[in-house]
Structure 1
Amino acid sequence: MFSGAQISLYPMSDDFVDVILKAIEALEPYRPFFRIETDDVSTLIVGPPDQLFPAMRDLFVSAARSGKHCVLSATVSRGCPGEPDDPICTPMTASGNDLPLVERIAEARNAVTRAETSGQIVAAQFSLYPLGEGHHMDEIYGCVDFLKSSGVFNRSKNFCTKLRGDAGPVFATLSEAFLRFGAPQGHVALDLTVSANSRTAA
């Protein structure tokens, strides 16, 4: 199954180049498991779906520890029918995604409680899109139920859900939403914005 993310990082600082380049170094431990390509617009990471959000977490936390206001924007996808399967990607068969919805919500909640903290507070808003035929609204409502009990739920907004808390549990919540909701072999996309160190946090 093809899975990956296009990521853009925006440090609000005159030394944004140094902040970005240092943050990209945080992806080094993932290089054996990912195809990583960086250009002047974004960084593409392609690889195992369960490692996408840990990689983004480490990238963003590295940038945010500069103390500068930083924003990450990402489009994340798994099972895209328009992309050939990549040998570095792995299927979703062991994710528990085929369990009944109520069990997936409980498993996702338990996974977030085990997430390690990073010491970096972040805010995130995202939208989940389980694409294709089927009961996609059931999956979305189930995901929202999980988010409200995740411990990092902030509020519902038009077209998205806002999270706030330590980067560890926040990115773990995003990962669980991405992995456990939507058909196991179906196409699921997630649109994400994460912010840290904003002077106008609300």
Structure 2
Amino acid sequence: MFSGAQVSLYPMSGNFVGIILDAVKALDPYRDRLCIETDDISTLLVGPPDILFAAMRDLFVAAANTGEHCVLSAAVSRGCPGEPDDAICGVTPSAGRAEPLADRITSALAAVETTDETGQPAAAQFSLYVMGTGSHMDEIYGCIDFLKRSGTFDRAKNFCTRLGGDAGAVFATIHEAFYRFGDPEGHVTLDITVSANTAPRVLADAQRTL
């Protein structure tokens, strides 16, 4: 089943070109396991979900480790009916979907708990869209239950959920939401924004302005 992501990286720095070019080198270890296409707007990553999210994590951490304010934005999709299957994606991303919902939540929590830390704090917000299934709300509510127990849950926001913590755990949480919930043959998408190194003064000034 096709699975992939369109990813854009935004370092808030006068050296944004250098930061992006250096960060893209973090994708090199994944080039034999992902199809990667880059243009002037975004980079397309196509491959198995575990490799997709590991690559996005490493790309983001490489940029954020500069200490500059960095944002990663991504649209992630699996099972899109408009995309052809690609052999590099391997087996059905959510093969575990046949398990009862409670068991999938337990597996997702265990995966996040055992994730290695990167040493880079991150904040994220994302939205999960489960398409074309009559049980989509059961899947969404199950995902919400998982998120609240994940250790990265910050709060619910309008149209999305906010997470926080080490970037490793944050990306692992989002990966599990994408992998464990939704029809294994259905269309599931995520809208993701991840941020690091936001200057407290800038944030305070923005809040006062709003």
TM-score normalised to the size of structure 2? 0.93
Runs of 5+ in structure 1 lacking a partner?
A: none
Runs of 5+ in structure 2 lacking a partner?
A: 205-210
Question: 1:179: which partner in 2?
Answer: 179
SS in 1 for 2:98: coil
Distance 1:93 1:124, change over 3 A: closer
**C-alpha RMSD of matched pairs (Å):** 1.2
SS in 2 for 1:109: helix
Number of equivalenced pairs: 202
What letter is aligned with 1:48? P
Question: 1:26: which partner in 2?
Answer: 26
Structure 2: distance between partners of 1:195 and 1:93: 26
Structure 1: distance between partners of 2:101 and 2:139: 8
Question: 1:125: which partner in 2?
Answer: 125
Question: 2:157: which partner in 1?
Answer: 157
What letter is aligned with 1:54? A
Distance 1:4 1:164, change over 3 A: same
What letter is aligned with 2:121? I
Question: 2:169: which partner in 1?
Answer: 169
Superposed displacement of residue 93, structure 1: 6.5
Given that residues 49 and 90 in structure 1 are in contact (C-alpha distance below 8 angstroms), is that contact kept between their aligned partners in structure 2?
A: no
SS in 2 for 1:96: helix
Question: 2:37: which partner in 1?
Answer: 37
SS in 2 for 1:88: helix
Identity between Structure 1 and Structure 2 (%): 66
Bigger helix share: 2
Question: 2:15: which partner in 1?
Answer: 15
Question: Residue by residue, what CA displacement relative to the aligned partner does 1:105-163 show, whole Å, maximum 9, x if unpaired?
Answer: 11100110010000000000000001112211111110000000000100000000000
SS in 1 for 2:96: coil
The 4+ residue runs of structure 1 with deviation greater than 6 A are none
Question: 1:73: which partner in 2?
Answer: 73
TM-score normalised to the size of structure 1? 0.97
Question: 2:86: which partner in 1?
Answer: 86
Question: 2:59: which partner in 1?
Answer: 59
Given that residues 94 and 179 in structure 2 are in contact (C-alpha distance below 8 angstroms), is that contact kept between their aligned partners in structure 1?
A: no
Question: Residue by residue, what CA displacement relative to the aligned partner does 1:7-27 show, whole Å, maximum 9, x if unpaired?
Answer: 000000000001001111000
Question: 1:110: which partner in 2?
Answer: 110
SS in 1 for 2:88: coil
The structure having more radius of gyration, on CA atoms, is: 2
SS in 1 for 2:162: strand
Superposed displacement of residue 94, structure 1: 7.0
